[in-house]
């Protein structure tokens, strides 16, 4: 992880690193790692707390109906926690390792479980091919950002097209009161001040760094009830 984060920092800082006495030092790899952990923990707090509440009911409650309700709560929350962990593993895990590929069918299943409990309805359109896992991270993070853009719910269309020379990715979020927040746009443009990076803003920032590392650029549009992200990855070799 340290090597991976160092790669990202060199990309963010450019080819000429800031001198040691500069007041605007780039965020360290430890800081980026801490922010990623904060993001994952934030996503897990709700289902884990619900599991704890369900267990407390089982321990104290003798009414059969209440115990059955507690079991349903626990089962549902365990499913949510598992879905979020699997998603985080693909979206944030082991970013520095290169070369491995993941089948988009598997990725689609993980995404479907992750978005099942949310307000955005997922429409996954991807061919059954294996893709570099760093591209997968960009794809999943952009998908999550798309869902954030339609907080009242709507349709989230994730489309991957394999061209002759490139892989094209588009994420379209359509819903009532769709909004592309300024901090997301700043993160995708790598313009978020390092001191302003948080568990919320780290996702677009890291996504943009990954895309840049892979030679891609994330474009975005917002018109009416629709927000769209697009990027393109040239085939390697």
pLDDT tens digits in sequence order for the chain, 237 residues long: 333 333 333 333 333 333 333 333 345 666 777 777 777 888 888 899 999 999 998 988 888 898 999 999 999 999 999 999 999 989 887 644 556 889 999 999 999 999 998 899 999 999 999 999 999 999 999 999 999 999 999 999 999 999 888 999 999 999 999 999 998 999 999 888 877 787 777 889 889 989 998 998 999 999 999 999 999 998 765
pLDDT at 145: 95
- What is the predicted pLDDT for the residue at 124? 97
Token pair 């070369």: residue = 99
pLDDT of 81: 92
| Element containing residue 156 per DSSP (H, E) | strand 154-162
d(CA 237, CA 235): 7
Q: What is the pLDDT of residue 201?
A: 78
Q: Quick one: which H or E segment has residue 51?
A: helix 29-60
Domain 2-234 matching CATH 3.30.1370.10: the answer reads no
- The pLDDT score that the predictor gives to residue 74 is 93
Q: Which of 38, 26, 29 is nearest to 88 (CA)?
A: 38
The Cα 9–Cα 205 span in angstroms is: 11
Question: Residue 195: its pLDDT value, please?
Answer: 78
pLDDT in the model for residue 25: 39
Q: With CA atoms as reference, report the closest residue to 230 among 156, 189, 171.
A: 171
d(CA 49, CA 78): 10
Which residues partner with 158 through β-bridges? 124, 171
């Amino acid at each position: 992880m340290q090597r991976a984060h160092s790669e990202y920092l060199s990309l963010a800082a450019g080819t000429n690193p800031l001198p040691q006495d500069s007041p605007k030092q780039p965020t360290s790899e430890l800081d980026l790692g801490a922010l990623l952990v904060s993001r994952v923990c934030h996503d897990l707090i709700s289902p884990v707390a619900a599991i704890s509440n369900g267990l407390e009911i089982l321990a104290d409650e003798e009414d059969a109906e209440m115990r059955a309700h507690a079991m349903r709560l626990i089962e549902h929350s365990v499913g949510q926690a598992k879905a979020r962990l699997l998603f985080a593993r693909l979206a944030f895990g082991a970013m520095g390792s290169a070369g491995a590929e993941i089948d988009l069918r598997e990725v689609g299943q993980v995404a479907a479980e992750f978005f099942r409990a949310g307000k955005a309805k997922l429409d996954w359109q991807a061919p059954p091919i294996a893709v570099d896992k760093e591209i997968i991270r960009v794809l999943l993070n952009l998908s999550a950002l798309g869902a954030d853009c339609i907080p009242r719910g709507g349709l989230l269309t994730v489309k991957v097209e394999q061209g002759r020379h490139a892989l094209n990715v588009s994420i379209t979020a359509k819903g009532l009161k769709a909004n592309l927040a300024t901090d997301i746009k700043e993160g995708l443009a790598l313009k978020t001040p390092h001191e302003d990076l948080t568990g919320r803003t780290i996702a677009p920032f890291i996504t943009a760094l990954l895309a840049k590392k892979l030679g891609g650029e994330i474009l975005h549009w917002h018109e009416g009830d629709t927000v769209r992200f697009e990027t393109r990855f040239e085939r390697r070799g």
